[in-house]
Homo-oligomer: A and B are copies of this chain.
């Protein structure tokens, strides 16, 4: 059986590496013939919205999935009739637009920051008036890793933010004063079986995930997050891995966004859980029984942004698991990550500090 993956980034690469032991083969669609996934599987080079290349991928695959949610929905719709495509086009669509996404959160009674659609400068002024400051203005589509966002502290910031981001559909959201950021990763099989991983606590730097630790042991929040996941699963008749990112405010979960795919905040599951998010995504879309999602001890994950640390120094940390993605270095680009595992949170944090020191000392 051959799985097609739209996007051959590090997520696609790790999906393939998790799927090979299941006896599967992989073919990617990506514009770069040397993308991370292309280094470990076969590649069709082309743009995600090129109908001919998408058809080629569909014809080479028994099932198609994706490693990036910014896949043009209209283009994908043309192949969804030719080949099984999961998660569904509908789920992809719901997650691509911040307005659709937050409207869905509201409809399913999943708390989310106050928001309003913005299409004109006048509309921006109205939204700011209705929601108040501080706020954040975001593009509705194609934003990731903090791109396509502007902080708004007062009316004085409106015009420059509008100019910077304008001429595309926007959303104004209230800034939530959060204690911390967490995420939950769940998985639902085409058979309807579901499972979820322990919540991870995430640390961002300028909008990019810098590190995660798991499990974040808060049984009440875990149970609430699982309820939210289950509402989304049901509503979207979902298949595959689904991630929700939350702010924790006054001890409650406020949903920030969701991703219809494996997620950076779940990389710790490769070594830190019985079954990784990558293997479970594949099990889910193929209708195979889901793997156990329990954490094995305590895990911490650090992203290598912009540069890679010396491999020798990282691997000298006991329980360090290195992952290089085979990408060229560019400022702030995700080039790899490392997960440290330990039997206690204290030991995990000590190892993570050691890792941070090694990575930091090279800057």
Q: A21 touching B292 by the CB < 8 A rule?
A: no
Minimum distance in angstroms from A122 CB to a CB of chain B:
51
Q: How far is the CA of A292 from the CA of B316 in the complex (A)?
A: 10
Minimum distance in angstroms from A8 CB to a CB of chain B:
13
Of the candidates B21, B25, B315, B325, which one forms a contact with A322 in the assembled complex, judged by CB atoms under 8 Å apart? Answer: B21
Q: B324 touching A22 by the CB < 8 A rule?
A: yes
Of the candidates B40, B316, B321, B341, which one forms a contact with A289 in the assembled complex, judged by CB atoms under 8 Å apart? Answer: B316
Number of copies: 2
Which interface class (under 10, 10 to 19, 20 to 34, 35 or more) fits A?
20 to 34
Interface presence of A73 (CB below 8 A)? no
Closest chain B residue to A338 by CB distance? B21
Closest chain B residue to A274 by CB distance? B319
Q: How far is the CA of A25 from the CA of B22 in the complex (A)?
A: 21
Interface presence of A121 (CB below 8 A)? no
Of the candidates B17, B292, B320, which one forms a contact with A319 in the assembled complex, judged by CB atoms under 8 Å apart? Answer: B292
Q: How far is the CA of A325 from the CA of B21 in the complex (A)?
A: 7
Q: Which residues does chain B contribute within 8 Å of A308, judged by CB atoms?
A: 23
Q: Which residues does chain B contribute within 8 Å of A288, judged by CB atoms?
A: 311-312, 315
Q: How far is the CA of A308 from the CA of B23 in the complex (A)?
A: 10
Q: How far is the CA of A274 from the CA of B315 in the complex (A)?
A: 12
Mark A171-183 against chain B: 1 for CB-CB distance below 8 A, else 0. Answer: 0000000000000
Mark A280-292 against chain B: 1 for CB-CB distance below 8 A, else 0. Answer: 0001000011011
16 intermolecular pairs with C-beta atoms under 8 Å apart: A20-B39, A21-B323, A22-B324, A23-B324, A23-B325, A25-B326, A274-B319, A288-B311, A288-B315, A289-B315, A289-B316, A291-B315, A291-B320, A292-B318, A292-B319, A296-B296
